[in-house]
Amino acid sequence: MDIGILHTHTLTVVLYVALFAVKALLILTGQRNLLTTFNGKTRILHIFLATALLGTGGYLLSRAPEGTSAYNIVKIVFLVLTMGVAFVAVKRFKASFAVLALSGFVYIFLLAKTRDIFLRNEETRLKATLQSFETVSPRPDVALARGKTIYEAACNRCHGADGRAGYRKAFDLQTSRLSDAAVLSTIAAGRKTMPAYSYLSKQELDDLLAYVKSLRK
Ligand code: HEC
């Protein structure tokens, strides 16, 4: 269900932005009459896409373990603002607003890709967070803390803090009884919708393994 909704969400976002891009192009090239005609003909489509986009987005937020993370809140606030700017651009035939709205949509798109307000990729972000651990000796509690940090940055969004969220068909990590080797290879190579974390070092993988196993009941 989550995955179908996610695809529908992505599709409606692409169509919605494409529709606005056509309107922005008409504004930027000064074709006011054409815009009025195009707007009239696509009104129902516009309402349908906006409703589908917000509806599917709302559903995904309610399902995602990190639905209320800072990144998601920035994304929603930005989206609502940008949709407002886009509305004004079309209503008032304003080129500056059209450019602003297009830039806003591009930012939100990159935000959704990276899940970071500064648009850093996951590896860069995670490695920056892990720097504080670098100098510490690998005591078991330190290893577990590092594993937890990695888990929260990379795994939480599907498996949830307790390992049971099951978002996007993620397996329950509390009942999982995979061997150490299989857990390590699942993390390093990914599986179905789970991405590969090939950038994690051997030490980081071992610490993550220890943390994942600590979630088991
Ligand atoms: C995009 C969502 C997503 C993210 C992020 C994610 N997983 Fe998964 N995970 C899944 C899915 C889906 C499966 C089940 C794959 C399948 O159907 O074979 C899974 C399966 C697993 C399994 C196998 C469990 C078993 O019993 O077979 C382990 C272990 C695991 N994930 C650990 C992690 C760890 C550790 C991270 C972070 C580094 C992580 N996952 C990040 C979605 C995710």
DSSP 134-197: TTS---HHHHHHHHHHHHHHHTHHHH-TTS---GGGPPPTTT----HHHHHHHHHH-BTTBPP-
Could you tell me if 83 and 182 lie in one domain? no
Q: Which of 78, 98, 114 is the last residue of a domain?
A: 114
| Section 10-29 average pLDDT | 96
- 193 by DSSP, 3-state: which? coil
| Contact predicate 90/32, CB 8 Å | no
Beta-strand runs (E) in 25-122? none
Could you tell me if 72 and 96 lie in one domain? yes
The whole-angstrom distance between residue 65's C-alpha and the CA centroid of its chain comes to: 12
pLDDT, position 128:
86
pLDDT in tens, 128-167: 888 877 655 667 778 889 999 999 999 999 999 999 999 9
pLDDT, position 70:
87
| Section 109-137 average pLDDT | 84
Instruction: Quote the CA–CA distance of 205 and 197 in Å, as a whole number.
Output: 9
Quote the pTM value. Answer: 0.85
Could you tell me if 6 and 107 lie in one domain? yes
CA 213-209-140 angle, to 5 degrees, is 85
pLDDT, position 137:
60
Mean pLDDT of the chain: 92
Could you tell me if 149 and 169 lie in one domain? yes
Question: pLDDT band at 18, cuts 50/70/90?
Answer: very high
Beta-strand runs (E) in 60-190? none
Q: Which of 96, 114, 132 is the last residue of a domain?
A: 114
Could you tell me if 12 and 43 lie in one domain? yes
Please give the residue range of the domain that contains residue 37: 2-114
Instruction: Quote the CA–CA distance of 96 and 47 in Å, as a whole number.
Output: 23
pLDDT, position 80:
92
| Section 88-103 average pLDDT | 96
Residue nearest to atom 18 of ligand 1 (CA): 191
Instruction: Quote the CA–CA distance of 191 and 162 in Å, as a whole number.
Output: 20
pLDDT, position 136:
58
Q: How far is the CA of 191 from the centre of ligand 1 (A)?
A: 7
- Ligand 1: atom nearest CA of 151 is 37
pLDDT, position 183:
96
Q: Nearest to residue 209, comparing CAs of 150, 133, 141?
A: 150
Instruction: Quote the CA–CA distance of 177 and 66 in Å, as a whole number.
Output: 25
pLDDT, position 141:
79
CATH classification of the domain holding 126? 1.10.760.10
Q: How far is the CA of 62 from the centre of ligand 1 (A)?
A: 20
Number of domains in the chain: 2
| Section 68-73 average pLDDT | 88
Q: Among residues of the chain, what percentage have pLDDT more than 70?
A: 98
Highest mean pLDDT among 25-34, 71-80, 139-148: 25-34
